[in-house]
Amino acid sequence: MARMPDEPDKPRGTSIAEQREAMARRGDVAGLVGIWTNPYASINFGEIANLVRRAVEQRAGSDPTRLADDLFTEMLSLAGYLLLRGTVYARRLIAQEDSNAQCRSNWHMSGDLEALLPKLFELQKHVAELGQLRASTIRLHELGRRTKIENDRIERTARLREQQKSSRKRRAAPPTANGFHPANRLAGLVGQP
């Protein structure tokens, strides 16, 4: 979902609704989300939500790996942004409390900071888990790809060997009149046993 166009390129004679419908059929999730989140686009929220759902279903059927990549990117980018924003806010609260403290032995955490820190730590854990899950998914996908390549190579080798065996059988000397194969191929070709 990296690209976020304002509106799709409009071929002549097609309405915006038809273009969006085509985007859903193609599985263009990023394009539809881009329209959905564009504050200047004239949209019917329910209609676009339905088109996004259909595009996700289409992409899940046609290219689930790419859909998973797009979704992980969205999850990590949002959670990462919220984590950074929460961290900046926590640092500001800490700095403010440090400057307001007259005596270091009399420091008490503010209610805002006390409420923020557990949520921030939970978000840190969530981002770390998403990162681990993404890395694990990439490793499994790569392992599956390598296994498929190896299986295809083994299958091609077996087919090639089978073809070589069958071509050797066809090239073998024809049997003589008495039905036996000659011991000498050349003799078999000239009709001698």
The residue type of 19 is Q
CA angle 6, 18, 44 (to 5 degrees): 60
Q: Hey, what are 126's tokens?
A: 């969530």
Q: Give the pLDDT band (50/70/90) at residue 103.
A: low
pLDDT of residue 43: 83
pLDDT of residue 12: 65
pLDDT at 5 over 80: no
Highest mean pLDDT among 38-42, 52-56, 96-100, 169-173: 52-56
pLDDT in tens, 169-187: 666 555 555 665 555 666 5
The string of DSSP letters for 47-76 reads: HHHHHHHHHHHHHHHH-HHHHHHHHHHHHH
pLDDT in tens, 75-93: 999 999 999 999 999 999 9
Q: Please list, in sequence order, all residues whose beta carbon lies within 8 angstroms of the beta carbon of residue 75, skipping any fewer than 6 positions away.
A: 130
What span, in angstroms and rounded, lies between the C-alpha atoms of 27 and 52?
8
pLDDT of residue 121: 96
What span, in angstroms and rounded, lies between the C-alpha atoms of 130 and 77?
11
pLDDT of residue 38: 85
Q: Give the pLDDT band (50/70/90) at residue 153.
A: very high
pLDDT at 98 over 90: no
Highest mean pLDDT among 43-52, 82-91, 100-109: 82-91
User: Looking at per-residue confidence, does 191 or 167 come out higher?
Assistant: 167
Q: How far is CA 110 from the centre of its chain?
A: 43
Helix ranges restricted to H, the chain: 16-26, 29-37, 45-62, 64-100, 111-171, 185-189
DSSP secondary structure code for residue 193 in this structure: -
pLDDT at 193 over 90: no
Q: Hey, what are 46's tokens?
A: 């329910």
pLDDT of residue 68: 87
CA angle 74, 77, 81 (to 5 degrees): 140
